Structure 1
Amino acid sequence: MSIAAGILLFFLTVIGMEAFAYAAHRWVMHGFGWFLHESHHRARHGNWELNDLYAAIFAVPSFVLLLGGMQLGWWPGFAWIGAGIAAYGAIYFGFHDVIVHKRIPTRYLPKSKYMKRIVQAHRLHHVVETKEGNVSFGFLVAPKPEDLKAELKQRSRAGVRAPVKPRALKSQTTESWAFGE
């Protein structure tokens, strides 16, 4: 396989992973896999939550494809696909765990319209504590926050956590930040 074809396959995999992540988030994590994902919609106590097991689960195909494509004599394209899955995982970690949930302290503040949009869409997703009634399941592609707010309002805010009076700007709840309250 040529390098150019491999790089193309890599980027197509990264792009395709957004569709996979959307489907997995909407129908697995908010479906039969809620028993793990529910911990992510609750306050975290400590460094880890049950939802973190999804990172290990989704890393397995990447690892197997990289191993097969590079060491076991499988079609070389599998290595590029495995690398694309791993790259999406790294992008996801940086966006979701570092930027949005601040699991690693950073001074980064979203400034571009795109980053503000996807951060706010993800925070709007988290204002719902229940398995049903959520909005915005993607990670790198998100609807406009205004559309998400309208959708939540149309549902009479079913499942939305109760607002908490903020002590300081830094400690505002997701809902107060997301709804501009």
Structure 2
Amino acid sequence: MQTALFILFFIATYCIMEFMAWFTHKYVMHGFLWSLHKDHHKKDHDSWFERNDAFFVFYAVVSISCFLLWKYDIFWAGLPIGIGIFAYGLSYFLVHDIFIHQRFKLFRNANNWYAKGVRRAHKMHHKHLGKEDGECFGMLFVPFKYFKNNK
């Protein structure tokens, strides 16, 4: 029973994190914390690091806090929740920073249906250089229209 509950909390957390990423991106990054996110929408960067990376740090702190709640027997579900947040953060980093933005030159030849759709959706998001009029704020689950005619 406990293993099944652990897996359920982990999967639920991972899936909820996609919603959290969408919500944070749309209403926080393109809202009151645009000052941290706007350098991510610039064509040229002064540095490999962006102020936008502060959002990774925030979610890392949340994940670590969950691990600590579990470690000190305060909240048993802290472990599967912390691992779920970490796993989503790793997925986000691999897809967004490595695959899409090529911060490391890996996965350059990924050219399948899903990869093309995610790239197309992200490209449409970045065509807007300001915080208004954005589209496609999700990361792993993007609207189906970006996969159409994706040959």
CA distance in 1: counterparts of 2:82 and 2:9, whole angstroms? 10
CA distance in 1: counterparts of 2:27 and 2:110, whole angstroms? 29
Aligned to 1:26: 26
Aligned to 1:123: 123
Aligned to 2:89: 89
Q: Report the number of matched residues.
A: 146
How far the C-alpha of 1:145 sits from its partner, in A, is 2.8
The structure with the larger Rg is 1
Partner secondary structure for residue 74 of structure 1: coil
User: Aligned AA for 2:14?
Assistant: V
Partner secondary structure for residue 6 of structure 1: helix
Listed as ranges, the matches of 1:165-180 within 5 Å are none
Residue identity over aligned pairs, in percent, reads 36
User: Aligned AA for 1:27?
Assistant: Y
Query: Where do 5+ consecutive residues of structure 1 fail to align?
Result: 148-181
How far the C-alpha of 1:120 sits from its partner, in A, is 1.1
Query: Where do 5+ consecutive residues of structure 2 fail to align?
Result: none
Question: Residues 118-170 of structure 1: CA distance to partner in whole angstroms, max 9, x if unpaired?
Answer: 111011101110010111000011122389xxxxxxxxxxxxxxxxxxxxxxx
Runs of 4+ in 1 over 6 A off after TM superposition: none
Q: Which has the higher mean CA deviation after the structures are superposed, 43-52 or 124-133? A: 43-52
How far the C-alpha of 1:114 sits from its partner, in A, is 1.5
Cα distance, 1:113–1:59 mapped onto 2, change above 3 Å: same
Aligned to 1:114: 114
TM-score (norm. length: structure 1) = 0.76
With a CA cutoff of 8 Å and minimum separation of 6, indicate the structure with the bigger relative contact order. Answer: 2
CA distance in 2: counterparts of 1:122 and 1:116, whole angstroms? 10
TM-score (norm. length: structure 2) = 0.91
CA distance in 1: counterparts of 2:91 and 2:147, whole angstroms? 25
Question: Residues 45-73 of structure 1: CA distance to partner in whole angstroms, max 9, x if unpaired?
Answer: 2211111111101211111001111x211
Output the aligned Cα RMSD: 1.5
How far the C-alpha of 1:107 sits from its partner, in A, is 4.6
CA distance in 2: counterparts of 1:40 and 1:65, whole angstroms? 28
Q: Does 1:13 align with 2:32?
A: no
